[in-house]
Structure 1
Amino acid sequence: MTPAALPFLRELGDLKRIHSAEAPGSIAERLFALGWGALLRGDQPAAVMEQIVGAALVSARLGDLDLAKLIRLGLGPDAVPVLQRAFDEVTGDLDPALAQRLRAALVHGRPAPGAVPSFVGKLARQPRAGVTSPGQPRILLQPAENHAEHCLMVAVYGVLASAWHGADPVAVFLAGMAHHFHNADMPDSGYSGEMLLGDRLDTAIETARAACLDELAAANPVLATTIADALAPIAGDTTPEARAFHVADVLDRVLEIEQHLRAAAVTMDVVLGAYGLVHDGPVKAFHDRILADAGLA
């Protein structure tokens, strides 16, 4: 892990904030639901990982212009090449073998929607705590991410980090998708709340997590066992999978706060100059004059 990876991780993190008229919720929230729907109906975890992570990487540039949408818009056989161009644009530094694996899944698009466990909706409705510290008031940065968004991003980041640690990307993906099971029934009071719970914290977490695993076991016992196995190592950092997971978890936690601070620091010089908000076109000169007359340029 080096600072060179951060710009793309920041870009991916914005999937928590990209919405469209396609459906309620951010892209990250909806990919989380699609992933769990696919896992619950029995799709192979490796295939789900490849489709979800591939879709996330492409969505960093295309947003909700996924395979199904591009086909509905009339692109036909040109839809997949569009996805591949977006993928290639952002994955130059990705491990080549992993990149090849994820790129190959683009032809399948996002997983088909399916029934999801009840914890999926709960995690999407459960906001993250914000910045907390024992004895201090909470720092709330709005809009708050939800736990579904955080879990999805940890799963995606974890797959990217798996190559750095020689980890199984599927196990890391599953751990990321499931690591906040407990927050389906346990509102997030952050570090300060954890300290106040004291020696009862583990009991509360284990009870809430067990409810999610029991729900999975009732519908798909094999999946429940697979998820439990993926979660087991992340209490520490001794396995490659645990280390890749913790890279993803801590980076998403910190980058989420950083994006609020970066947004607050954006200036009009950046927006109009570096980003060309008023971009080239047949009436750009007139637009520039309007902004100058209004004192905005």
Structure 2
Amino acid sequence: MSLTPAVLPLLRELGDLKRIRSAGRAGSIATRLFESGWSAWLGGGDQTDIAYRAMAAGLAAARLGDLDYAKLGELGMSDEERLSAMERSVDEVAGPLDAALVKRLKSQLGSPLPDVSDLPDTIAALRDQPRAGVTGPGKPRVMLQPEENHAEHSFIVALYAGLLAPFYDADPAEAFWHGMVHHLHSAAMPDAGYSGEILLGDLLGKVVDRARELALADLPDELAEVSARHLAAIADDASPAARAFHAADVTDRVVEIEQHLKRFAVTMALVLDDYGLVHDGPVKAFHDETLEAIGLP
């Protein structure tokens, strides 16, 4: 497989998991899946199993949002009914992806990650640590609100990396966890962006290393050792999984800023004609009459 622009619309859509929320659930889907993945690993779960379950949940959420396996069950759908709905959601978007990977992810749709238990401060802090946005040496910061947090960025990079792994002959689970650990240092280190890195100069490495030491010290020894190996692996792009990770990271950085700008391309013709904002239903004719009478659009 070769990476092509065909996968970009899906990646854009998945990036919006940073912005999808629902009542009774704290934080975006991306934040919660990041924390669920870490909670499952901290609870003794297998990294590979967790990776596929998290990716499956994220892929299904592209169209279903927070109508996930648990919520659909709460709303009266049988196991067969909710799996069918989630599989349809995956099928709508998964065309550009590796077929074998998609098949494996669909097999995990009925195995959602467990509820989050207590998290180490390092992991919990990432939902509260905002990303810098657009910065450049010698220039003021471009503030784009609402900003993403580092839990959201980490999960979306992990999701992208796992889904892109077949394009690099990489292990999807390994690439996924590269993404999940890559910003552990940000728990202790506020994000000043590229301009901050330049201003720190030769001391940047020292500061990042210390922030990582603090983060790893907050994890159980075994998880800290595994996380350190992931961090070492992504110091360059020598391995297939590292290339999948770096492709995911740079894509998310650009897509995140793109989504702030795309709102200016949205028109009433698009939302009414293409998206069916006033969609078919028993009172559609009355809705149309009302809008015409009141002068909308």
Normalised by the size of structure 1, how large is the TM-score?
0.96
Residue aligning to 1:17: 19
State the Cα distance separating 1:234 from its structure 2 match: 1.1
Match of 1:39 among 30, 41, 48: 41
State the one-letter code of the partner of 1:46: T
8 A contact 2:41–2:50 mirrored in 1: yes
CA offsets 1:205-230 (integer angstroms, 9 cap, x no match):
011111111111xx3x2222221111
| Residue correspondence of structure 1 range 94-173 to structure 2 within 5 A | 94-173=97-176
Q: Percent identity?
A: 54
Residue aligning to 1:295: 295
For 2:128 and 2:74, how far apart are their aligned partners in 1? 30
For 1:93 and 1:4, how far apart are their aligned partners in 2? 6
Q: Which one is further off, 32-41 or 115-124? A: 115-124
State the one-letter code of the partner of 1:233: A
For 1:125 and 1:137, how far apart are their aligned partners in 2? 23
For 2:295 and 2:141, how far apart are their aligned partners in 1? 39
Residue aligning to 2:270: 270
Residue aligning to 1:83: 86
State the one-letter code of the partner of 1:264: F
Residue aligning to 1:207: 210
State the Cα distance separating 1:293 from its structure 2 match: 2.7
CA offsets 1:24-54 (integer angstroms, 9 cap, x no match):
1000001111011001111000011011100
**3-state SS of the aligned residue for 2:170?**
coil
Unaligned runs of 5+ in 2: none
For 2:33 and 2:214, how far apart are their aligned partners in 1? 23
Residue aligning to 2:283: 283
Residues 1:28 and 2:35 aligned together: no
Q: Which one is further off, 24-33 or 230-239? A: 230-239
State the Cα distance separating 1:180 from its structure 2 match: 0.8
For 1:169 and 1:111, how far apart are their aligned partners in 2? 21
8 A contact 1:128–1:144 mirrored in 2: yes
For 2:101 and 2:82, how far apart are their aligned partners in 1? 22
State the one-letter code of the partner of 1:292: E
Decide which structure has greater helix share. 1
| Count of matched residue pairs | 294
8 A contact 1:52–1:111 mirrored in 2: no
State the Cα distance separating 1:114 from its structure 2 match: 2.2
State the Cα distance separating 1:91 from its structure 2 match: 1.3
For 1:240 and 1:52, how far apart are their aligned partners in 2? 21
For 2:296 and 2:84, how far apart are their aligned partners in 1? 40
State the one-letter code of the partner of 2:293: D
RMSD of the alignment, in Å?
Answer: 1.2
State the Cα distance separating 1:23 from its structure 2 match: 0.9
Normalised by the size of structure 2, how large is the TM-score?
0.96
Unaligned runs of 5+ in 1: none
State the one-letter code of the partner of 1:114: S
Show structure 1 runs of 4+ deviating over 6 A: none
**3-state SS of the aligned residue for 2:230?**
helix
8 A contact 1:58–1:83 mirrored in 2: yes
